[in-house]
A and B are shown apart, each in its own frame.
Chain A
Amino acid sequence: AQSVSQHNHHVILSEAASLELGCNYSYGGTVNLFWYVQYPGQHLQLLLKYFSGDPLVKGIKGFEAEFIKSKFSFNLRKPSVQWSDTAEYFCAVNAKGSSASKIIFGSGTRLSIRP
């Protein structure tokens, strides 16, 4: 069965620091990968996604993620964070194939940015 691991539960950074949030998945086949973000008091929304092609994916607000198939990873990065990036971030995976409609989320990483 597919699963997603986010190893960092809570990350605290100062403004302008660089960010990398880890995401690893377990599934032997082809996958679609997602990062979602939940800002305080707002709905979950898509940050970026990978379906195929260039493994380096760029999303909204300066975020990017790199799919490394050999490592089963899809880490999220941002070179310089802002206070407004304070939010909870969720990695998600969808296994292409028989369970094509199922998406599994990780446990989330809470990001706190000190102004």
Chain B
Amino acid sequence: SQTIHQWPATLVQPVGSPLSLECTVEGTSNPNLYWYRQAAGRGLQLLFYSVGIGQISSEVPQNLSASRPQDRQFILSSKKLLLSDSGFYLCAWSHDRAADTQYFGPGTRLTVL
């Protein structure tokens, strides 16, 4: 069966520090991968998605970036965090190119102080 992992589960970082959140999927190949940010009252904001290694589509221009160095690994990064980057970050995957059911990870709670 497929599983999705995210780490760390929680993170507290100072403003201006770098960020690296990791997401990995097991039990499937060539998944679509997604990064979302969930904020209270604002739902899930799609940040990035990827349909293959090295292929990243950005939905929201900001100081975050994403990379997909391996088929089942998706990384969310920042060189310098802002206070506004605080939030709950969710990774998700779905089968192949046609968007289908998304399976979500447990999320990372990021607090920028």
Contacts and interface: CB of A to CB of B under 8 A. Distances in A.
Nearest to A49: B101
Interface of B: 32, 34, 36, 41-46, 49, 51, 57, 59, 90, 92, 94, 97-102, 104-107
Contacts of B59: 102
B49 A101 contact: yes
A9 B41 contact: yes
Given A46-B101, A102-B57, A102-B59, A6 B51 contact: no
A43 B90 CA distance: 9
The size class of the interface chain A forms with chain B is 20 to 34
A45 interface: yes
Given A90-B44, A100-B98, A107-B41, 18 more contacts: A32-B100, A43-B106, A44-B90, A44-B92, A44-B104, A46-B101, A92-B44, A96-B98, A100-B97, A100-B99, A101-B94, A101-B99, A102-B49, A103-B34, A103-B102, A105-B44, A108-B41, A108-B44
Contacts of A107: 41-43
B102 A46 contact: yes
A11 to B, nearest CB: 14
A104 interface: yes
A104 B99 CA distance: 11
A91 B57 CA distance: 22
A100 B98 CA distance: 5
Q: Give the interface centre of A46, A90, A101 by most chain B CB atoms within 10 Å.
A: A101
A24 interface: no
B25 to A, nearest CB: 14
Given A104-B46, A105-B36, A32 B99 contact: yes
Nearest to A9: B41
Please list the 3 inter-chain residue pairs (A to B) with the smallest Cβ-Cβ separation, ordered nearest first.
A107-B43, A105-B44, A94-B99
A9 B104 CA distance: 22
27 contacts: A43-B104, A43-B105, A43-B107, A44-B90, A44-B92, A44-B102, A44-B104, A96-B98, A100-B97, A100-B98, A100-B99, A101-B32, A101-B49, A101-B51, A101-B57, A101-B94, A101-B97, A101-B99, A102-B57, A102-B59, A104-B46, A105-B44, A105-B45, A106-B43, A107-B41, A107-B42, A107-B43
